[in-house]
A and B are shown apart, each in its own frame.
Chain A
């Protein structure tokens, strides 16, 4: 893991074609510009985590059909 300090307007270059720019620092919030090729998937970590968590929640359990039939009867 690389750990480094950057100031406003400074950049980090990752590989040949990804650049992160520190746009603004305000208290505990940092605004970051991400320049990456369109085929590179860039997500907020929590969005990625939410999708993965939802997939795991969605994997059918042994009671899924019973639960569904009861809900649809109401």
Chain B
């Protein structure tokens, strides 16, 4: 389908990249439908809201930027999005780009968990205090670029 983006462009997104977040993101509970597609800056992805064109987030695969990242979420919570098989899990971290040019960070404490089978998603909150909401990713991204 054609998706209108926050930046007034139109992107064609396959049906299998449309995501539903039944409970919404914390602070954005009213917005449930999103499209996921590549951003201008690999490996960042856009999570563009379909209910509100003005709402969009950049996300990144947290395992690309933090090799020892891990998350332990109770199975009962995951059942909210019908997730049973670990093979169906796709994890994203939301990226913050401060307008003042401050560090670009990923929220490793509140990751998005996607069930690849039904494309339902939830935002988890990790109790593990190794992860916080502001993991600096720019250095990790640069390192990755150089090695590619």
Interface residues of A, Cβ cutoff 8 Å to B: 37-39, 41, 43, 47-48, 50-65, 67-72
C-alpha spacing A51/B107, complex, angstroms: 8
- CB contacts (< 8 Å) of A71 on chain B: these are 97, 101, 104, 138
Known: A59-B55, A71-B101. 9 other contacts (CB 8 A): A41-B77, A54-B96, A55-B27, A55-B107, A57-B96, A58-B58, A65-B40, A67-B99, A67-B101
Interface residues of B, Cβ cutoff 8 Å to A: 6-7, 25-28, 40-41, 44, 55-58, 74, 76-77, 94-99, 101, 104, 107, 109-110, 123, 125, 127, 132-134, 138, 141
- CB contacts (< 8 Å) of B101 on chain A: these are 67, 70-71
Closest A residue to B126 by beta carbon equals: A47
C-alpha spacing A55/B56, complex, angstroms: 11
Interface centre among A38, A62, A64, A68 (most CB of B within 10 A): A64
Given the known interface contacts A58-B58, A60-B56, A68-B104, the answer about A39 and B125 at a Cβ–Cβ threshold of 8 Å is no
Of A58, A69, A72, the contact of B94 (CB 8 Å cutoff) = A58
A61:B99 contact, CB within 8 angstroms: yes
C-alpha spacing A43/B110, complex, angstroms: 12
Of B6, B41, B58, B107, the contact of A54 (CB 8 Å cutoff) = B107
- CB contacts (< 8 Å) of B26 on chain A: these are 48, 51-52, 55
CB distance from B139 to the nearest CB of A (A): 11
A39:B77 contact, CB within 8 angstroms: yes
Closest B residue to A57 by beta carbon equals: B96
B58:A64 contact, CB within 8 angstroms: yes
C-alpha spacing A68/B96, complex, angstroms: 10
- CB contacts (< 8 Å) of A60 on chain B: these are 6, 56-58, 97
CB distance from A24 to the nearest CB of B (A): 21
Given the known interface contacts A51-B109, A54-B107, A60-B97, the answer about A41 and B125 at a Cβ–Cβ threshold of 8 Å is yes
C-alpha spacing A72/B39, complex, angstroms: 14
